[in-house]
Structure 1
Amino acid sequence: MAIESVVVRQRVEDLDAAVPFYEKLTGSTASRFAFAGVDLAGVGPFLLFAGSDEAVQRVAGVAATLVAADLDAAVEAATAAGAEVVMPVQPTPNGRRAVLRHPHGGVFEYVGPS
């Protein structure tokens, strides 16, 4: 299992206002989508999200997103090492995801291709 990259998660009040800053900062074009009532934009290594307090609570408790080429292997290795599955692997608009709590308390979203 290998984590290929880490995506920094950032809540913003106004996604439309925030995206241009992160596009300039990273030299990347935002990829926008919605999930579970939350508006999101992936810009380089950042995942910006906005929405009502109730909706963003579903994503705000996660420290970071860990990207793995083989999501199933990553989840299996993490659980074998003591992580707890908070949300099992499921499809998303951009692939698949799972949420795990590491043995020392951190909660992380793991994502991978479909």
Structure 2
Amino acid sequence: MKIVKSFYRIYLRKTELEACKKFYMALQGVDRPHHEFHYEEFRLDIVGIGSILLIAGDKADTERFEATKLTCLVDDLDAVRAYFIQTGVKIIDDIKVVPSGHNLRAMSPDGTIAEYVQHSDDFKRKMAGNAYD
């Protein structure tokens, strides 16, 4: 069990997304996002660029997620869940299927709410053309 990559979440409106994508791609010297998809269930556009995760939607759509400050890509979500149960970490949303694989949300002992996600092989294949790492 390990964290493969961490993403700092930035919430914004869809009208701001293109300008922010260009800014973070230029800042990090890349010509396209690592991953990019639409999360239909919550009407959100998700864009990963380096260690930045842009989450774009209407205010009403992003508000429910804004307490979540961090996304951690992990290699074994079941092991992370077991560790949380063993150590008494509060699981806010248990493991569920999401467009990129599976995730859960938990509150660490310091009060930080984070999403922990394990990307599916199918998602990795779909994102391979986007310099997925």
- Establish whether TM, by shorter chain, passes 0.5: yes
Deviations 1:6-37 (A, max 9, x none): 11111233101110111112233223212211
Q: Choose from 16, 28, 37 the match for 1:33.
A: 37
Report the identity percentage: 28
Query: Residue 10 of structure 1 contacts residue 46 of structure 1 at CA under 8 Å; is this kept in 2?
Result: yes
Query: Letter of the aligned partner of 1:21 in structure 2?
Result: F
Partner of 1:23: 25
Query: Letter of the aligned partner of 2:6 in structure 1?
Result: V
Partner of 2:10: 10
Partner of 1:107: 113
Query: Residue 92 of structure 2 contacts residue 106 of structure 2 at CA under 8 Å; is this kept in 1?
Result: yes
The separation in 1 between residues aligned to 2:38 and 2:100, in whole angstroms, is 10
Q: Which has the higher helix share?
A: 2
The separation in 2 between residues aligned to 1:27 and 1:96, in whole angstroms, is 29
Query: Residue 102 of structure 2 contacts residue 118 of structure 2 at CA under 8 Å; is this kept in 1?
Result: yes
The separation in 2 between residues aligned to 1:79 and 1:3, in whole angstroms, is 17
Query: Letter of the aligned partner of 1:107 in structure 2?
Result: I
> 4+ residue stretches of structure 1 with deviation over 2 A?
none
1:69 deviates by 0.4
In structure 1, stretches of 5+ residues that fail to align are none
Partner of 2:130: none
Partner of 2:95: 89
